């Protein structure tokens, strides 16, 4: 006999559909309208844009909070303010959670935290990227210490997943307190211009405690974190742009640290002995004349395609993803257009973090060098350039992925040593004929070594030119380094892609086993 009443099969199915409908529209109509009025999407709309159509499988859709204080028992929406689950991006599995600002302002409570923890544990167990779409006012005050405990549990899993699966955070709205610290542990943070804000304590709290005046945008806006703090890695124009960046980024990354990055068919624009004559005139004749290093890099990687990481922060250092023969490479390069490509604190930390990410996930490193050295100055010294600059040394020296370095122009002083030199473990080091590998430039060296002789000369300008020319001929060129084996080959600039392709092919077989240890102690 088939039951058709309220307690029968049909009634139960009807009740299920009603509950699911409520779960799919957890936020009130007015809350959703306010969200849209701010130029923001809802959690489900964001997931729909992020994932391949029809691929999302939701988890814990019917979960509800257990708090019965402060009138909360009257408001128990399904999902409890966060949508979690898994799906695919370009047919590759990802785990995702999206905080729903239309429910309790996205505030995190016990069940909300448990849902995120569950999907994080799933990402760990199956080995796939974890993507968080964050839009939250912080901890749910009504649930007290339980909310704080969930933040700590989430952060502990962020740490456990670090270097195991890629973790990406999209900051789609306000993210305060714990909602800021968890994303800070992840590998990449994307923020939306004018919409995203991230800080530990907001303007009102700061004003009450310290008397300092600030606003959300200057304190923790998307531009602040992309240009000043370096806490974010991409400034999106809108939510669609943020999601597009993440989808593109994932195309360069492996699913987890035991898998190689994806390799794409690349039916070739490489043939043995190929040349690109444009590169032969890429470096200006004038020693200190700037040029755009990105123009050179684009001539070497596949199709000229690059995905810049933190382009607005420390622009004197380029960090980007590209491909060589369809395979991902991480690119680190000095940028002569900014501060002459000199290395400062911000550039050191930016590059070191990027190098460590690439090394953790098996992505080869390709370095382009044009560096006059470290940035001098009292501010840099007092800011800790010794310790913080050492992070770059540590990152290169610890890396065991294939490493290829191309010295384009200047490689002076400490800058030579730290920028992927042979001495820090680079596998293949190449130099253009325009490379100047020395303690310092010829002009400065002549002044230091022959100061008295120049001062006593009847024709100091002529003598200075003679001394500079002599220094360039004997020391300030790539050939002494090549003579010592510090450079494997001096190559014509036009042959750079040819040599890089050959080196990357060779190094696919690289296997490095270091001393057994738990981990080193990076100079944090």
55 and 104 both lie in a single domain: yes
Q: For 419-452, how does the pLDDT look when each residue is reduced to its tens digit (9 = 90+)?
A: 999 999 999 999 999 999 886 655 665 566 666 7
The torsion region of residue 377 among left (phi > 0), alpha (psi -120 to 50) and beta comes to left
Whether 456 is covered by a domain: the verdict is no
Q: CB-based contacts of 63: which residues, under 8 Å, 6+ apart?
A: 78, 79, 80, 111, 114, 115
Rounded CA-CA distance 23/48 in Å is: 16
pTM of the predicted model as reported, rounded to 2 decimal places: 0.90
Rounded CA-CA distance 165/292 in Å is: 33
The two structure tokens encoding residue 372: 């006059």
Q: List the beta strands (DSSP E) in 196-348.
A: 197-199, 234-236, 307-308, 317-324, 327-334
Rounded CA-CA distance 88/81 in Å is: 22
Whether 189 is covered by a domain: the verdict is yes
CA 389 to chain CA mean position, Å: 18
Whether 16 is covered by a domain: the verdict is no
Rounded CA-CA distance 80/69 in Å is: 16
Strand-strand pairing, 57-59 and 82-89:
antiparallel
pLDDT given for residue 23 in this prediction: 66
- Domain span at residue 336 reads 277-441+476-507
Q: Mean pLDDT across the stretch 253-267?
A: 90
CATH number of the domain enclosing 241:
3.90.226.10
Say whether pLDDT at 3 is over 50: no
Q: For 61-89, how does the pLDDT look when each residue is reduced to its tens digit (9 = 90+)?
A: 877 767 566 556 667 677 778 999 999 99
CA distance readout (Å), 32 to 63, 85, 101, 385, 516: 20, 21, 9, 48, 54
Q: For 351-399, how does the pLDDT look when each residue is reduced to its tens digit (9 = 90+)?
A: 999 999 999 999 999 999 999 999 999 999 999 999 999 999 999 999 9
236 and 313 both lie in a single domain: no
pLDDT given for residue 2 in this prediction: 46
pLDDT given for residue 35 in this prediction: 85
Whether 104 is covered by a domain: the verdict is yes
Whether 255 is covered by a domain: the verdict is no
Per the CB < 8 A criterion, the answer to whether 450 and 476 are in contact is: no
Say whether pLDDT at 278 is over 70: yes
Backbone angles phi, psi at 192, to 5 degrees: -105, 125
Q: List the beta strands (DSSP E) in 237-374.
A: 307-308, 317-324, 327-334, 365-371
501 and 372 both lie in a single domain: yes
193 and 319 both lie in a single domain: no
Q: Mean pLDDT across the stretch 399-427?
A: 95
pLDDT given for residue 178 in this prediction: 75
pLDDT given for residue 102 in this prediction: 83
Q: Which residue has the tokens 């981990």?
A: 519
325 and 199 both lie in a single domain: no
Backbone angles phi, psi at 86, to 5 degrees: -145, 160
Q: Helix or strand or coil: residue 169?
A: strand
Q: What percent of the chain lies above the pLDDT cut of 90?
A: 61
Whether 360 is covered by a domain: the verdict is yes
What percent helix, strand, coil does the chain show, rounded to 5?
Answer: 45, 20, 40
187 and 306 both lie in a single domain: no
Q: Mean pLDDT across the stretch 492-510?
A: 95
46 and 98 both lie in a single domain: yes
355 and 292 both lie in a single domain: yes
pLDDT given for residue 180 in this prediction: 85
Whether 20 is covered by a domain: the verdict is no
pLDDT given for residue 422 in this prediction: 95
37 and 97 both lie in a single domain: yes
96 and 176 both lie in a single domain: yes
pLDDT given for residue 516 in this prediction: 61
Whether 187 is covered by a domain: the verdict is yes
123 and 226 both lie in a single domain: yes
Query: Model confidence at 1, in pLDDT bands (50, 70, 90)?
Result: very low
392 and 481 both lie in a single domain: yes
Specify the higher pLDDT residue, 416 or 176: 416
What's the number of domains the chain is made of? 2
Q: Mean pLDDT across the stretch 53-59?
A: 96
- List helix spans (H) across 82-211: 110-126, 145-161, 178-185, 203-210
Q: What percent of the chain lies above the pLDDT cut of 70?
A: 85
Q: For 122-157, how does the pLDDT look when each residue is reduced to its tens digit (9 = 90+)?
A: 999 999 999 999 998 776 766 678 878 888 899 999
Q: For 451-478, how does the pLDDT look when each residue is reduced to its tens digit (9 = 90+)?
A: 677 666 666 666 667 666 666 666 678 9
pLDDT given for residue 68 in this prediction: 61
Q: For 380-389, how does the pLDDT look when each residue is reduced to its tens digit (9 = 90+)?
A: 999 999 999 9
Q: For 159-206, how does the pLDDT look when each residue is reduced to its tens digit (9 = 90+)?
A: 999 999 999 999 998 888 777 889 999 999 999 999 999 988 888 888
Rounded CA-CA distance 220/205 in Å is: 14
């Amino acid at each position: 006999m088939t039951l058709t009443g309220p307690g029968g099969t049909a009634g139960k199915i009807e009740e299920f559909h009603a509950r699911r409908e409520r779960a799919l529209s957890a936020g009130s109509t007015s809350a959703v309208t306010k969200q849209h009025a701010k130029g923001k999407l809802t959690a489900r709309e964001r997931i729909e844009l992020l994932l391949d159509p029809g691929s999302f499988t939701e988890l814990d859709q019917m979960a509800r909070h257990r708090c019965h204080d402060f009138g909360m028992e009257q408001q128990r929406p399904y999902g409890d303010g966060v949508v979690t689950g898994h799906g695919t991006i370009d047919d590759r599995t990802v785990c995702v959670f999206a905080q729903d600002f239309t429910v309790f302002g996205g505030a995190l409570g016990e069940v909300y935290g448990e849902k995120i923890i569950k999907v994080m544990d799933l990402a760990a167990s199956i080995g796939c990227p974890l993507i968080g779409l964050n839009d939250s006012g912080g901890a749910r005050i009504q649930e007290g210490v339980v909310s704080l405990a969930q933040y700590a549990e989430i952060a502990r899993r962020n740490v456990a997943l670090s270097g195991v699966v890629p973790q990406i955070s999209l900051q789609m709205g306000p993210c305060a307190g714990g909602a800021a610290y968890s994303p800070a542990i992840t590998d990449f943070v994307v923020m939306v211009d004018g919409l995203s804000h991230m800080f530990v304590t907001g303007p009102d709290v700061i004003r009450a405690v310290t008397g300092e005046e600030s606003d959300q945008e200057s304190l923790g806006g998307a531009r602040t974190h992309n240009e000043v703090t370096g806490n974010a890695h991409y400034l999106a124009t809108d939510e669609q742009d943020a999601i597009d960046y993440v989808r593109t980024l994932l195309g360069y990354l492996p699913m987890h640290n035991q898998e190689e990055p994806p390799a794409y068919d690349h039916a070739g624009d490489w043939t043995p002995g190929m040349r690109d004559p444009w590169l032969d005139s890429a470096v200006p004749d004038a020693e200190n004349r700037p040029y755009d290093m990105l123009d050179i890099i684009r001539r070497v990687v596949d199709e000229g395609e690059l995905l810049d990481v933190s382009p607005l922060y420390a622009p004197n250092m380029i960090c980007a993803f590209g491909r060589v023969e369809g395979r991902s490479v991480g690119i680190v390069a000095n940028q002569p257009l900014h501060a002459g490509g000199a290395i400062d604190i911000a550039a050191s930390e930016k590059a070191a973090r990027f190098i460590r990410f690439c090394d953790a996930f098996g992505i080869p490193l390709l370095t382009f060098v044009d560096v006059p050295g470290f940035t001098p100055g009292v501010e840099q010294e007092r800011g800790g350039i010794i310790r913080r600059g050492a992070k770059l040394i540590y990152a290169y020296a610890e890396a065991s992925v294939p490493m290829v370095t191309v010295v384009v122009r200047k490689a002076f002083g400490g800058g030579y040593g730290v920028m992927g030199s042979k001495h820090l473990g680079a596998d293949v080091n190449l130099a253009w004929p325009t490379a100047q590998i020395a303690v310092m430039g010829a002009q400065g060296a002549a002044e230091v070594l022959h100061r008295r002789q120049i001062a006593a000369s009847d024709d100091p300008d002529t003598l200075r030119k003679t001394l500079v020319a002599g220094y360039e001929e004997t020391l300030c060129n790539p050939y002494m380094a090549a003579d010592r084996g510090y450079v494997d080959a001096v190559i014509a600039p036009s042959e750079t892609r040819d040599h890089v392709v050959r080196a990357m092919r060779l190094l696919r077989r690289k296997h490095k086993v270091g001393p057994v240890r738990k981990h080193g102690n990076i100079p944090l």
